[in-house]
Chain A
Amino acid sequence: AQTVTQSQPEMSVQEAETVTLSCTYDTSESDYYLFWYKQPPSRQMILVIRQEAYKQQNATENRFSVNFQKAAKSFSLKISDSQLGDAAMYFCAFSPLAGEKLTFGTGTRLTIIP
């Protein structure tokens, strides 16, 4: 069974600064997908970024990028130029294939300080 661990229940960052959210996982699979989802107070689950394990290049989506370390089973999310709208719960998630069930971490609540 896969497990996903987010060791930071809460983080805060000054507006316009950079913050990194941590995630580690455990799996015996060699091919899999990793995701970061954002859940604002509206409770929607919004896909932020995804990474295929077979790709060595780290995924990037505008101000969001990941540091994927497959050997260490680490998948951190970096948010650059933080904005007030980035305030939310962030969940790291794993699936053996992109369209299969997700295993979520416990989440990190990110606060943006104006």
Chain B
Amino acid sequence: DAGVIQSPRHEVTEMGQEVTLRCKPISGHNSLFWYRQTMMRGLELLIYFNNNVPIDDSGMPEDRFSAKMPNASFSTLKIQPSEPRDSAVYFCASSLTNQPQHFGDGTRLSIL
């Protein structure tokens, strides 16, 4: 079975550019999570969806960040405009109700 699929695996771009990270959850899973991992702050939740509806976006840093889940099999995390401090590894995870989360391989984002 395919796991959580994230793309791209690496992204390098200049500050000010728009960045879009993509995630395909495991088929049938009804919850999707976006996490960010940095040396300074560790792993922190940005936003999570249940049945495609955003439930908690309190971790989204600021208006430059937005996330969508147009259907059960796809989600995007967008940063516009990007800044060097956004450099991090971004993980997507999915789960069934009351089941552990399964993580994708992450996207390493570098903003120059």
CA distance A63 to B97 in the complex (A): 28
CB distance from A29 to the nearest CB of B (A): 15
Task: Give the interface of B toward A (CB within 8 A).
Answer: 30-31, 33, 35, 42-45, 48, 56, 89, 91, 93, 95-103, 105-106, 108
Tally of chain A residues near chain B (CB < 8 A): 22
CB-defined interface of A80-114 with B at 8 Å, one 1/0 digit per residue? 00000000000100000111111111110000000
- Could you tell me the dominant secondary structure of chain B's interface residues? strand
> Is the beta-carbon distance between A99 and B96 smaller than 8 angstroms?
yes
Which residues of A lie under 8 Å from residue B101 when comparing CB positions? 47, 99, 102
CA distance A50 to B55 in the complex (A): 24
In the complex formed, the residue of A with least CB distance to B105 is A44
Asked if A35 is at the interface of the complex by the 8 Å CB criterion, the answer is yes
Which residues of B lie under 8 Å from residue A42 when comparing CB positions? 105
Which residues of B lie under 8 Å from residue A102 when comparing CB positions? 33, 35, 43, 45, 101
Given A43-B105, A45-B103, A47-B100: A101 in contact with B33 (beta carbons within 8 A): yes
CA distance A100 to B35 in the complex (A): 13
> Is the beta-carbon distance between A98 and B33 smaller than 8 angstroms?
no
Which residues of A lie under 8 Å from residue B31 when comparing CB positions? 99-100
CB-defined interface of A29-55 with B at 8 Å, one 1/0 digit per residue? 000010101000011111100100000
Given A43-B89, A45-B91: A91 in contact with B43 (beta carbons within 8 A): yes
CA distance A97 to B30 in the complex (A): 14
Given A99-B96, A102-B45, A107-B42: 15 more A-B contacts, CB < 8 Å: A43-B108, A44-B103, A46-B103, A47-B101, A47-B102, A97-B98, A98-B95, A99-B30, A99-B31, A99-B98, A99-B101, A100-B48, A101-B48, A101-B56, A104-B42
